[in-house]
Each structure stands twice: as C-alpha cells, then as structure tokens.
Amino acid sequence: MAVSSPADWVVHKFGGSSVADADCFRRVASILDSWAPSRMGVVLSACKGVTDSLLALVSQAERRDAVWRDGLIALRQRHEHIATSLLTRAAVDAYLAGIDRDLQDLEGILQAVSLTRSASRNVTDLISGYGEIWSTRLFRDFYASSGKRSGEVRWLDAREVVVVEWGPLGPMVQWQESQRRIKAAIPAEFEGTLIITGFIAADARGVQTTLGRNGSDFSASIFGSLLDAREIHIWTDVDGVLSADPRRVPDAQVIDSLSYNEAMELAYFGAKVIHPQTMAPAVGREIPIWIRNTFAPDHPATLICARPTSALAVKGITTIENIALVNLEGAGMIGVPGTAHRLFGSLREESISVVLISQGSSEHSICCAVPKEQADRAVDVVRAAFSRELADGQIQSVEVDRDLAILAVVGDGMAGMPGISAKVFNALGLAGVNVRAIAQGASERNISVVVPAKAATRALRAVHASFYLSSHTVSVGIIGPGTVGKVLLEQMASQSARLRRDFKLDLRVRGLLSSKRMLLSDKGVDLSLWQNEFAATDRSADLAAFVEHVGVDYLPHRVIIDCTASGEVAKHYANWLAAGIHIVTPNKKANSAPLESYRALQQARRIGGTHYLYEATVGAGLPVVQTLRDLRETGDEITSIEGIFSGTLAYLFNVYDGSREFSDIVGEAKQRGYTEPDPRDDLSGTDVARKLIILGREMGLDLEMADVQVESLVPAGLELGSIDEFLQRLPLHDAAMKDRFERATAAGKVLRYVGRLTADGKATVGVVELDRKHPFANIALTDNVVRFATSRYNNNPLIVQGPGAGPEVTAGGIFADLLRLSAYLGARL
C-alpha cells in the first residue's frame, strides 16, 4: 500500500441505523471531524426505515389503498423533526421546500400507480431512491453549517455520476462513462467533503435506477474506485465483522482482519459482512475496507484487504437456515457423463438456486442444497428431467430432506493445514450433530456441512468453541445441592474465573434441583449468590422440566451432575444418556443396579455417544476406578481387589480400642457428620457391597448384589424402627463387639471392615482380623485404602490410599470428573 497523505481520498459510508435521527447525524459529524484527510467522500443511506416506507407506498398505491397519502405526510414529518433539531429555522424552511417539491412529484407518480394498479421497475426505483436524496441533503446542510471542517462541503447526486446497466448478475457499472463524469463533476484540485447519495444511480439513458439491496455499500465501493481512495470505511451498528452470529454465539469476537475472499465466503453463507458484489470495485484496486461501529467508533474494527496479517486459521463460522437437500441416486449414474449437467441445467431453467453441491467419488449419488421454499418444485423438476431413467430403474430415487441448515467454516489459513477438517467433524460428533452432506472447494478456504436445522445453533457453538474463537460452554444441571452439592458449587465458583480466563471453559450451571424446588437460569446461575437465589425461588421441583432446560438443543454439550443417593433419580440415567446428556455422579445406585439395568445403561451411553463418569462412587476423590481401568486397558490382569471402602467404618474401627463402648463411638461419629443420617446405612455394609459390584463390573465380572457375602453390623432386630430407637438399643449389643475386639487383641491383630473381590467373582464384605503391620491396620481415621493385586503388582500390590469420605473430597472427585468430561468434549485443559 502506498504511503498516505492528507490529499488522499477517504470514503466513508453510513448505513440507515447510523442516520436514524438527529443524534445519529451529530454522531456522524463528530466521527468525520476526527479524521485527518482533507478530501472525504461520505456516502449515506436513507434514514432508518425510510426506504421500506417508500416501497410500502408503492404497494399501497397498487392496491388503491389511500393510506399512501398518510405515508407521505409521515415521511415529511419525520424529516422535518430531524431538520428542526439540526438546522436554523431558515435552513429548515429551505430544506423542507425541496422535500415538498419531491413529495409533490411523488404524489403524482403514486396517483398514476393507483390508477394503473401497477408500478414498473423504473417507477419503483425512482420512488425508493428519495430517502437517500433527503438524508444527504439534510446532512450536507447540517455539516456545512457546523463550520468545524475546512474546505467545501458539497452535495453530490450519484445519479449524475454512476452509470449502470442491469444484467443477470445485477447492476454492472459502466466504468469508462462513470469515470468521465466524476472528473467532470469534481475537479482534481477539490479540497473538502463530498456528501454522496448512496443506493441510487442512472442507466445509459439517464433514467434513475438503484443498486439493489446493500446498494449504499456498493456506492461506497464504486466511489472509492472512482476517487482512487486510500481506504473505505463502512460504518454500521456492530463492531466490525464477528466470528459468528452474536445472537447464537454470545461471545463471538471481532475478526481483526479478513482477505477479500474470506469476506466474500462469509457473506455468501449469511454472515453480516459487506455484500460480495459490493466489494468488487474496491477489490479491483485493492482498496482496504474497514467495517466499524458508528455507535462505538473506538471499539475494535475489521479490516478487509488483499493481504491480511491475522494469525487465525479460521476467521469465521456461519450458517444458512431454511435449507433442503435434494438427492439423486442410482446405479445408472456411475460413469455416465453429463448427469450433473442435466441435474443442474434443469434447476437453472426453473430459476432454482443451488446453494451447495456434494457428490461421492463412486458417482452413485449426487445431492444439492436448495432453499427450503423451492424444495418441492426442485424435486418435481429433477424427476421430470430424469423421468425416463426413473421409469427404467437406472435412477432409483429423487428424494428431498427438509429442515436443514448449512454450517460454513471459513479461513484462508486452513489451506494446507492438516487437522482442520478433523477438528470440525470431531466438534460436531462430540456435540451429537449428524452431518448430512459435506462440501469443500479446492482452495480449502471453506468447509461446508449440511446439518439438521434444529441442531444448527448447537453445531455453530461447538465448532466455534473448538477453534477457541469463543468459550467452550457446557450446560450443567446439578441435582442435590445439599451437603456434597453445596461444596461442589463452592469449588466451581472458586475456579470459574480461572477456567474462563486460562482455558476458555464456561461451566454454565443452568439448573439446580432439590427434592422440593428448582432454580433454572438461561444465562447461568451466579455461583456466588446461588444459595440466596435457590432459597428465593418458588418453582416446585419438576425433574422433566429441569432436564429439558439443562438439555437445551442450542448448547453443544450438556451434563447432569447427580449428587444424590437416590435410586429414583438413577433410573433416569439411561434415558438421559441416550438423549445426548452426559452424566457425572457419586451415586452408586445405577452402577450397582441389577445387571439388566446396568447393561441398558451402557447401551444407552453408546447410542447417545455420551460420557458417563462416576469416579466418586468408590473412594470419593481417590483415583480408584480410573486406576482399575488403566490397569486393565494396558493389559494387566487383576487377581484381586481388597480394601477399606467406607470412611465411616474406617473411623469406627480406628477409634474403637475397647476402652469405650462401640455404640458410643457410633453416636459420636454421627454427631461429627461421619455417618449417613441413619448410621444403619453405613453399618449394614450395603454401601461397601455396592462399591465392590462397581469394581467387579469394571473388571468384566457379572456381579449382582446377591453374589456378595455381606456381614452387617446392624444387630438382628434393629433393622427397622426410628433412628433414635436404633441408637437407644444399640448399647445392648456392645458386649459382642467387645468380645471380638479382645480376641483379636490377644492374637496380636486388629479389626477392620474390609471388602474383598477376586478374579473368579468371589466377593465378601465384613469384619476381619489383620496383622498390626498390615497396610490396612495403619491408616488415618477416615481413610479409604484399596489394594490391587495384579500380574504386574504381585509381590508388592498397588495401593491407593487417602480420605475416602467427606463433602470436600467427594465434591473434588465430582469436579475432577466434570473437568475430565470437558477435556473429552474438546476443552483445552
């Protein structure tokens, strides 16, 4: 790019939202005042909504609806209101005199339209172009009167300069004639500001025409070329070009720079960028185009140029909605030249737009994406074109699949870079999005996939996050915000800022559910205030509504964390997994349920392509399950597993030394919160048995609860009744436990409550006597300890030991599983 000077032209274009009212006019003037160049071209659109209002007048006149006269009055009043706020009374009167002349002309034209009930294209173009005339005249008067800028402020009617001819591809600029006219209109020595009408032009006969929708952008590019401008600035109501639609990806970011080709690809696939056709004049001269925000001029902007310097391989991800896929399939197509020509020729003749084409190398089928509203006509056209082949069986079918969308991933940096496609499809797979068709050009600048319309937002967010253009969002629902759940929320709150900052991981807690109430939030519960919000909610618990909210389709990844011990909640796991919702839990009920239910759970996980993590079911935060998996997956053979799996029972037998009654220690443990609310849940040994079943099934054993020999420490006759009654009657049985303790002590041994499991499926749970030097005999008060005897760890078994009970360590194990899940889903941890 050449070194710039104050004499270089700079072209600015302001859209309708930028000139919507008087304050907007002042804002535009302030922006222009801040620019150094002494020569500026300022292209304005009509004030927001005016062009639509003018076109509505045409429609009303064609229907002989007299309301068009009221529309003319409303347009005058609107412009008068803006002018009164900006100009002196004399200037307002002069400006309105011009509008009144135009309105008189418009009234005559619309009267003629009403009489004929028809408006030709020339008439429509003439009427729709008045908005730009009115906005630019008003701004010229206002800006010239401000006196803040040196040089002349001149109004330039684009109809006197830009000559176009309409063709099949739209308006084509007659450059030679337009160049001659700009030189005649603007002398080379001109110093000042041109206020230029956007959108409108003239044909070779001098008849007014327009440049079509986005015409003012086109005007800016045309005048940038005619004036040989240094750069073009398109001012709109957003911060540059965003990496995705912010309504669907709230943390989409401004793209720093794009090549012309990248911008064209994004625009074609629906992104809010300058229209591809409107860039053509600037592209021809390699004039840089800036996309800026009128309402935040200091915010980041996007540069569109020939050679951008951005380091991003992927610049943007966008979608086209309301797509249908037409598929032509048949063995008779293989190796037959001209099939594609006939297919697309038939669609072209019926003016059916083809958005995307995909064909396998076998030539057995070819499909194309078309606008959904044209789908039925497209199928009829293709069937007619191949009617003979369909009748003869050479073509088996012409089918259409509606309710689809196209996701496009765009970036020049993708060319020659391995792994881009893999990342796209991996992100879609992890988000549970089915891909119906794929297309990629030889330039490798664009990867397009056809996906179900209902999954389009989920797909967009998943792929956007996979390239770290936005946070990796996981929709989290927590069931049971009680003892463990409360601590988990505290741990998540303490790390959420770090996870967002360092890893772009957004663990968005969108729902909390207890047995009585629930709290739902679209934007995510504030983890620093959740207890207040949860206590204040009056919404009754509704598990189905909770799951529907957490499992919302537009977020790519959804997980339910079950912090309860409820068997009723666990019964829903299979349905959730099959529906694409991941599960993290310390709840042992599902994995120790009857084998039939357990197998259905695993099948549901495979069907849904989901993850089911339950490290905290055994040993709380200790890596017991993961260690077992690692041993088996690396080929080690498990001989046996034994351990102290209950922190409660570990405490009881560590503390019990015969000097105090066993029942007293049970009562003390309950007061300290070491036991379940009903100590019998611990003393029965059922919890330990469930853990053995979980480990046994991880080993590949078909264990059921009935296969585990369990010694319960709940004395016979005390299984039923209230908790208080149990605690009152428990001392009656202290003598039996003291007798066992004394016999063990006399033999130089200690008592421990141990679970044992062997490779042949033998499983036992109960009190055993161990040597005082045994690893299980010397542990901390509430420790769990698990010993793996394997082919590798034979003479010296592998031991995992540490706190195996308590809210903090259990919540830590759940949190670790949640982070592990996030990594599986693509988060870069």
How far is CA 85 from each of CA 138, 155, 254, 434, rounded to the nearest angstrom? 11, 20, 34, 56
Q: What is the dihedral of CA 104, 107, 111, 113, to 10 degrees?
A: 120
H or E element at residue 202: strand 200-202
Going by C-alpha positions, the residue among 45, 44, 40, 46 that lies closest to residue 11 is 40
**183 Cβ contact partners less than 8 Å away, ≥ 6 residues apart:** none
Tokens of 616: 């905290």
Compute the distance between CA of residue 438 and CA of residue 697 in angstroms, rounded to an integer: 41
How far apart CA 815 and CA 492 sit, in angstroms, is 7
Helix (H, G, I), strand (E, B) or coil at 458: helix
Q: Are 481 and 563 in contact (CB under 8 A)?
A: yes
Instruction: Select from 217, 208, 264 the least CA-distant residue to 18.
Output: 217
Cα–Cα separations (whole angstroms), residue 663 to 19, 451, 649, 743, 791: 82, 64, 13, 19, 42
Alpha-helix residue ranges (DSSP H) falling in 564-622: 567-570, 573-578, 595-608
In the Cβ-directed half-sphere of 568, how many Cα atoms lie within 13 Å? Answer: 5
The rounded distance, in Å, linking the Cα atoms of 376 and 355 is 16
The amino acid occupying position 62 is E
Cα dihedral 336, 337, 342, 348 sign: positive
Give the integer Cα–Cα distance in Å for 687 and 805: 12
Residues 6+ apart with CB under 8 A from 658: 738, 741, 742, 745
Answer yes or no: are the C-beta atoms of 754 and 643 closer than 8 Å.
yes
SS (H, E, C) 496-511: HHHHHHHHCEEEEEEE
Three-class DSSP category at 554 = coil
148 carries an active-site annotation: no
Residues belonging to the chain: 829
* 367 Cβ neighbours under 8 A, 6+ residues apart: 325, 326, 327, 328, 357, 358, 359, 437
Q: Which of 691, 738, 749, 762 is catalytic?
A: 691
β-pair type (582-584, 557-562):
parallel
The Cα 195–Cα 144 span in angstroms is 10
Distance CA 341, CA 6 (A): 54
Q: Within 10 Å of residue 194's Cβ, how many Cβ atoms?
A: 24
Q: Which residue reads 């010239």 in tokens?
A: 144
Are 669 and 753 in contact, with CB atoms under 8 Å apart?
Answer: no
Residue (of 804, 815, 710) closest to 755 by Cα position: 710
d(CA 302, CA 42) in angstroms, rounded, equals 19
- For residue 756, give both structure tokens: 């044992």
Q: Distance (Å, rounded) from C-alpha 556 to C-alpha 171?
A: 42
Structure tokens at 476: 């989290």
Burial, 104: exposed, middle or buried (Cβ in 10 Å; 0-12, 13-18, 19+)? exposed
DSSP 218-284: HHHHHHHHHTT-SEEEEEESSSS-BSS-TTTSTT--B-SEEEHHHHHHHHHTT-SS--HHHHHHHHH
- Point out the residues that are catalytic: 691
